[in-house]
Amino acid sequence: MLKTGMIIAERYEVLGKIGTGGMADVYKAKDHKLNRFVAMKVLKPEFREDTTFIRKFRSEAQAAAGLTHPNIVNVFDVGDDEGVYYIVMELIEGITLKEYISKKGKLSIKEATSIAIQVSMGLEAAHSHGVVHRDVKPQNIIISTDGKVKVTDFGIARAASSNTISSNVMGSVHYSSPEQVRGGYSDEKSDIYSLGITLYEMVTGRVPFDGDTTVAIAIKHLQEEMVPPSTYSEDLPYSLEQIIFKCTQKSVGRRYERMEDVITDLKHSLIDPQGDFVKLSTVDNEAKTRVISDEELGEIKQKQPAKTAQRRPEVARLEEEISETDYDDDDEDYRRKRKNDSQKRRRSDQRRRLGRLITILVLVVGAAALVALIITIGRASGLIGGSGGSAPAEKVKQSESKEEDELVEVPDLVGRTEEEARELATAVHLGTQMDGEKASNQEKGRVASQDIPAGTMVEPYTTLKYYISKGAQQVTIPETDGRTGIEAQQMLEDMGLTVDVQRQYSDLDDNGYPLVDPGYVYYTTPEAGTSAKSGDTVTLVISRGVDYGDSVEVPSVVGMSKNDALTTLGKFIDITVEEAVSSDVAVGEVISQDPEAYSYADPDAPMTITVCVTEEDLAAQPRTSEDGEAQAAAAGEVWKCTQRLNTPTGYQNGAVRLELIQEVDGQPTASVITEGTPLEFPYKLDLTGAPGVSNGTVYVFEQIDGEYQKLGEYPITFEKAE
């Protein structure tokens, strides 16, 4: 175990232990070279003597270090220092998915699907680089304080899988695929199986296979059918249950082929929860009988003894138990179980059919009521005459469209009761969702805060999330020395305190260096250890370093994360953070800065940094009236794109559909460029985009077996036509 204050590799200062696992301990550390906090995973002593494990650990961790994706915990460094083997990773403030499930019991359908999509996107990125996780489980999925979902522990997974079933599968047996349990070859589809088990746990609050021993659980993965998740979660949509079933097929060939297919179906389930679009293969339909040659049989016999000799006792015991309980040993038991399973499936299918029938009846009744309501309102307003004549359907559609396009202003819910908050939101066609409780200076039981500020213009039917006040509570001002201003502010606000951030130049030591580096906490008022009540104001003073006057060198922050960039720019007091989509840097990193790096500028003057985000992040941002004004100002301009699209991978000269996605007024706008005919690549575009919008993405789909399947996507740019 490392001690606080130790320096590893003359660079990383150990600040404290923050977690432990089966093979490694996790420490918070400070990287003095890049002046940032990191997480350092250090192998436990018992694994440091296994040279094969160490070699694989290094190679796989280095492969993981090449992965950069917003849903993967970034690996910064891999190395060893006097027998201490470590991985340096991005420090994520948050909790594991396992802790989150334990806290909530089970997750809502929308929340579970969103988490599954983000995990799938991270795994898809890893698979595209040839990296298989092999240990996907809620303990290796982190939900950050800002709601981002990240997969971690890629480096150790592969190394452990080489160390037999006892070091990997047995530690995570609840989520292991049948092929991993057998000790056989595992690939991307093993990750898909584990994701399916994880999704099962999210929607039900339990794992599908459990037992007193790891071997007993492993056997269930091999032999038993899982209890349908809808048994424990009655509101589980049919499509999501089918996705879980397809991910967790015991036969590798019957699972999803790629993570991309999982993502597609998960997104589809959000818009068509009861849809029957998930295609499950029937048993053995795809199986082919092949005769093994004498030569192949000889090779198998030669390899078998060596392979068996390498197995550890745990594997041997597992195989003995499997062979003792194999269905083939008792045909009568096997037939009886098959009959029971068949009856269970038949009853399950009947329940699903009944559920779909009830859904259809509800929709029909609802539609009839809606028609009656429209007629009543139409007659009252004069749109529909009393003689039975009706207004043109076109007018009704225009009215509906107009209502959908208009933005509404977010009301101020803070200080209101929950009932008052719901009434205010409902009056402007907004939804509400209570997100939890927290200490505040608001009266207990009233709204303490809301996620979208009052006065923001948003689309109708947006959901406002809010916290309920637990009342003022006594707290102690924590120690903030050595923390960045951003970390300290978040920590104080999480305690229910109101934070007044100020910046001040630091006093100097005898050598002329600042006592506190720029961007780090100088002091707080009241000071650490003082008692306060939630809602009280704490002044947080952040150091600006040395006062060099009105001309200082601007540091380079391009490529840094937003928080690291703001800390590095601690000397500057007026920083605006803008967001944009870019293919040049990873999501969350700085794309550009103004003034540019290494120029000289006044630290009191305005500065702007632009941070890379996804198109989904931009689309989710609330819109303001200024967005509409900017778009109107651009009206009348013509923006063109004449780029060429290279031949997409896998194109078979079939019918193509090209779709253009652009962000207009903060919302993704889609349009079809061409559809239904083969194209000759490279294909030259001749597009007119939205006025004032300089970029977009073209998605290429090819018609295969009657359905359009995505082949690729191309970022494109538009220029204002002269």
DSSP state letters, 176-227: --HHHHTT----HHHHHHHHHHHHHHHHHSS-S---SSHHHHHHHHHHPPPP
Long-range contacts of 341-350 (CB under 8 A, 24+ apart): 341/225, 344/225, 348/228, 348/230
Whether residue 526 is preceded by a cis peptide bond, meaning omega within 30 degrees of 0, is: yes
Are 200 and 193 within 8 A, CB to CB?
no
Question: Using only C-alpha atoms, what is the Rg of the chain?
Answer: 30
In 544-655, the DSSP E strands lie at 552-553, 575-580, 590-594, 600-601, 607-612, 639-641, 644-645
What is the SS3 assignment for 598? coil
Classify 287 in phi/psi space as left (phi over 0), alpha (psi -120 to 50) or beta.
Answer: beta
Are 126 and 154 within 8 A, CB to CB?
yes
Are 320 and 219 within 8 A, CB to CB?
no
Cα–Cα dist 176/197, whole Å = 9
Cα–Cα dist 136/132, whole Å = 10
Instruction: Spot the catalytic one: 31, 77, 135, 564.
Output: 135
In sequence order, what are the residues at sequence separation of 6 or more whose Cβ sits closer than 8 angstroms to the Cβ of residue 290? Answer: none
Cα–Cα dist 181/199, whole Å = 20
For residue 133, the one-letter residue type is: H
Read off φ and ψ for residue 89, nearest 5 degrees.
Answer: -130, 165
135 an active-site residue? yes
Q: Which tokens belong to 67?
A: 């992965």
Are 238 and 275 within 8 A, CB to CB?
yes
Round to the nearest angstrom and report the end-to-end CA distance of the chain: 67
Are 222 and 126 within 8 A, CB to CB?
no
Residue appearing with tokens 């204002």: 720
Residue appearing with tokens 């779909």: 356
Read off φ and ψ for residue 679, nearest 5 degrees.
Answer: -120, 155
Cα–Cα dist 485/613, whole Å = 23
Residue appearing with tokens 């030569």: 295
Q: Which tokens belong to 574?
A: 């007026």
Are 115 and 80 within 8 A, CB to CB?
no
- Residue ranges in 539-640 assigned as alpha helix (H): 562-568, 615-620, 625-633
User: How many C-beta neighbours within 10 Å does residue 386 have?
Assistant: 7
For residue 369, the one-letter residue type is: A
Whether residue 595 is preceded by a cis peptide bond, meaning omega within 30 degrees of 0, is: yes
Bridge-based pairing state of the strands 644-645 and 683-684: antiparallel
430 burial level (CB within 10 Å; 0-12, 13-18, 19+): buried
Q: What is the largest CA-CA distance in the chain?
A: 94
Q: Which tokens belong to 114?
A: 């969103």
Q: Alpha carbon of 333 to those of 261, 283, 327, 341: distances in Å? A: 37, 20, 7, 12
What is the SS3 assignment for 465? strand
Are 255 and 247 within 8 A, CB to CB?
yes
444 burial level (CB within 10 Å; 0-12, 13-18, 19+): middle
Are 327 and 334 within 8 A, CB to CB?
yes
Catalytic residue ranges: 135
